[in-house]
Amino acid sequence: MAKFLVEKSSSLHGEIEVSGSKNAVLPIMAASILTDEKCQIMDAPVLRDVDVMCRLLESIGSQVKVNYEEGTVEIETSSIIAKEAPYELVKKMRASILVMGPLLSRTGQAKIALPGGCAIGARPINLHLKGFQALGADITEGHGYVEAKADKLVGANVYLDFPSVGATENIMMAAVMADGITVIENVAEEPEIVDLANFLNKMGARIKGAGTDTIKIEGVEALNGTKHAVIPDRIETGTFMVAAAITRGDILIKNVVPDHVKPIIAKLKECGVVIEDSDEGLRVHGDINELISTDIKTLPYPGFPTDMQSQFMAFLTTVSGPSVVIETVFENRYMHIGELNRMGANIKIEGRSAIIQGNQKLQGAQVISTDLRAGAALVLSGLVAEGTTEISEIYHIERGYTNFIGKFRALGARINRIEE
């Protein structure tokens, strides 16, 4: 098993370039099977999840070529040989469910095992299935799997009970070749939704409203291949912004879309962090002002992202004053609190709120990365903790960050990966 050893580091300084978005590239890769022509995806991140999606697509008949040096993934699905995603791949990554909409749209049938991924709370797929049913699919649920079948999908009105990102993406992909018009209301508004819609529109889809709470799709008969560059990863951006703040450093972050990280910018500024937006990128100064506490509440986009909650909480343990963090998106996304408290943090949970006493002197400890973003939070804490922090279960972290160690080392972090 591999581990990270993180030692207390001086203030991080320098510059890094953000990689393509994990949460954007995976649905785009899934969408490529909607056509029998070649799709070229550029600025693809080097991630375990991308590797899993490549293998998943190959298992259903796609020809996949990956060139990570150039950041490209080419996918051509001239024929589909299987309409079922194998469990050994699906269990590794929740985003596997995203092949269901494209398979159903192109072949009229899709079967998939119930997906895995980080254990951050219940993420039922009932909204995905509700959308498929509205489009005319028959749903069968068995022991550990779900199947959808339709002779022909037909446009419909769909209202999501919650603005689920995955359900929005899956229903969009199922609807692009349905007969007639589909209107999906109360949808997710994340930048990754807009990126997927842009990709699909390049393929010949007719989608309007992505980025708002209502998406309208006019079905087309067929889609073509295309080229598309993935947006920068806003959660990686936010993680390095917090890295500058927690280490009281000075980092220039390149390849950034500032509008995508507005709530993170706002909250860091409330804490006294100075952020400059220029043509080069975002420069984050944690070394100018005394940093103070603030409160955060996670919400669907454009609110504060749940994927930044644990990293920001790690930062709040180091500033003056008490803070309150309220998690509203996932009910089990506080597993990192026990690990942070092992390092000397003072955090108490009250329902969906976490009460943080700031200005704590953290100490290195043996801790476990309970999920992707929790692992990043433990690395950030390890950078300012006395002694050495040993982080296990790091495969979670490597699922979602490209060249994680290399980028941190380039900024002066003392971090190593060891194999046991």
For the cut 70, the answer to whether the pLDDT of residue 175 exceeds it is yes
CA 13/CA 165 separation, integer angstroms: 34
Sign of the dihedral through C-alpha 203, 206, 209, 215: negative
pLDDT-derived band of residue 420, with 50, 70 and 90 as boundaries?
Answer: confident
Active-site positions? 118
Q: What's the alpha-carbon Rg for the chain, to the nearest Å?
A: 21
- Rounded to an integer, what distance in angstroms lies between the CA atom of residue 11 and that of residue 28? 37
Q: Tell me: the pLDDT tens digits for 213-241?
A: 999 999 999 999 999 999 999 999 999 99
**Domains along the chain with CATH numbers:** 2-18+232-419 (3.65.10.10), 22-229 (3.65.10.10)
Kindly report which listed range (65-79, 141-155, 199-213, 357-371) carries the lowest average pLDDT score: 141-155
Q: What angle do CA 91, 24, 245 make, to 5 degrees?
A: 100
Q: Would strands 322-326 and 282-285 be described as parallel, antiparallel, or unpaired?
A: unpaired
The residue behind tokens 């990192």 is 336
Q: Which residue has the tokens 């799997």?
A: 145
> Rounded to whole angstroms, how far apart are CA atoms 220 and 217?
9
* DSSP states of 236-292: HHHHHHHHHHHTT-EEEEES--GGGGHHHHHHHHHTT-EEEE-SS-EEEESSSS--B
- Model-level pTM? 0.94
Q: What is the pLDDT of residues 15-64, one digit of tens each?
A: 999 999 999 999 999 999 999 999 999 999 999 899 999 999 999 999 99
Enclosing H/E stretch for 2: strand 2-7
pLDDT, tens digit, 9 for 90 and up, residues 94-113: 788 999 999 999 999 999 88
Distance CA 379, CA 242 (A): 11
